[in-house]
Amino acid sequence: MPRIIFTVINDLVYDQRMNRIANSMVKSGYQVLLIGRKLSSSQDLLPHAYQQKRIRCLFNRGSLFYAEYNLRLFCCLLFQRADIFCAIDLDTILAVYFASALRNKKRVYDAHELFTEQKEIITRPLIQKIWLQIEKFAVPKFINGYTVNSFLADEFKKRYGVSYAVIRNLPTLLPMTNTSPEKKEKWIIYQGAVNQGRSFETLIPAMQHINARLVICGKGNFYEQTRQLISHYTLDSKIELRGYISPENLHTLTPQASIGVTLFEPEGLNQYHSLANRFFDYMMAGIPQVCVNYPEYAAINEQYGFAYMIPDCNQDTIAHALNKLLNDTVIYQELATNCIAARSILNWEEEEKILVNFYKYL
């Protein structure tokens, strides 16, 4: 059986996307090893049909962390049996390139995002310059790859002459647990990375004008700032920070919410042309969402109509939209009904066919 090694830099326990990809490849007749990072706070790995390995580092942030992780990952890849190496995003690409080149193995780039256009990167010119140099060096050497939407595929083609497939981050088709908008308590959920560029600076103060709770599930580089914003606006009784939630618990929790939120600041191509997992996760859970009207989201919503789109992420705009969904039962029910209809089309069971076909003809 051919063996694929996927490399990520995050904790494997909470990575729903890589769990879907790894399981799909196992079902298609591949052996899979997924390599990620281990922190002191990491939970025990859950059993899966694929193998898992985590790397512990002495450094946990900054340039020393990235350098150490890639060095350790490179050494690990030198001694692992594999037919294909797949780097997930730019932060593992150097280790995968050098290991695959040295061992004469096939290599694939899974560009989950346009890494060099994230807000936390573009706001630090020196850091962005370094990552751009890594991107310019490595990406052209990965002639095989895929990304999450057509804009990013076109951008990689324009920058580096590579032709990447489009494989969207669609959720697994799950049984519906609650399709009724009449829920005991109306509350709002945010799930995903609590990072810069996700509009927490405007979402948090907007909650002052909303008669519902907000539950934030996830962590990231803006987690402590989010906690401070909640305290600053004295919203501790209205906004709950849950931290990391296991995928299994999230699948139970999300359908219980009334509304989801998908917000991004416009700065940076990565935010403006994003296609976040949560956009589809809320749909799969059967709950309407407030979503910023950027091109990739707008194109999908024009066809399926399961999100309430807003022109910007200003505080007043967010508050008005959330209150609209909380109080207008006609619009809410229309969006909820459209969620149910879209689930049968926008799901991983359909999208994984593209992934399997990609590796079949690699």
| Residue 148 belongs to some domain of the structure | yes
**Between residues 271 and 109, which one has the greater pLDDT?**
109
Residue 233 in 3-state DSSP? coil
Express each pLDDT in 336-360 by its tens digit: 999 999 999 999 999 999 999 999 9
Residue 175 pLDDT > 60, yes or no?
Answer: yes
pLDDT tens digits for 184-238?
689 999 999 999 999 999 999 999 999 999 999 999 999 999 999 999 999 999 9
Q: What percent of the chain shows pLDDT beyond 70?
A: 98
* Claim to verify: residue 66 and residue 148 sit in the same structural domain: yes
Distance CA 176, CA 341 (A): 12
In this structure, the answer to whether residues 135 and 201 fall within a common structural domain is no
pLDDT confidence band for 33 (50 / 70 / 90)? very high
Which residue carries 């769990």 as its tokens? 19
- The answer to the question of residue 324 being in a domain is yes
* pLDDT score, position 14: 87
Say if 256 falls within a structural domain: yes
In a domain, 95, yes or no: yes
Q: Is this structure's pTM higher than 0.85?
A: yes
* Average pLDDT for 158-171: 96
Tell whether 223 and 144 lie within a shared domain.
no
Residue 180 lies in a domain: no
How many structural domains is the chain composed of?
A: 2
Residue 25 and residue 51 in one domain: yes
User: Do both 160 and 210 map to the same domain?
Assistant: no
At 183 the pLDDT is: 60
CA distance 129 to 34: 29
Residue 207: CATH number of its domain: 3.40.50.2000
Percent of the chain with pLDDT over 90: 89
Could you report the per-residue pLDDT of 75-85, keeping only the tens digit for each? 999 999 999 99
Q: Helices 277-285 and 295-304 sit at what angle, rounded to 10 degrees? A: 20
Cβ-contact 82, 4 below 8 angstroms: yes
Distance CA 159, CA 177 (A): 44
pLDDT at 56 over 70: yes
Structural domain range at position 290: 187-343
Q: Residue 299 and residue 303: Cα distance in Å, rounded?
A: 7
**Angle of the 93-103 helix axis to the 125-138 helix axis, nearest 10:** 20
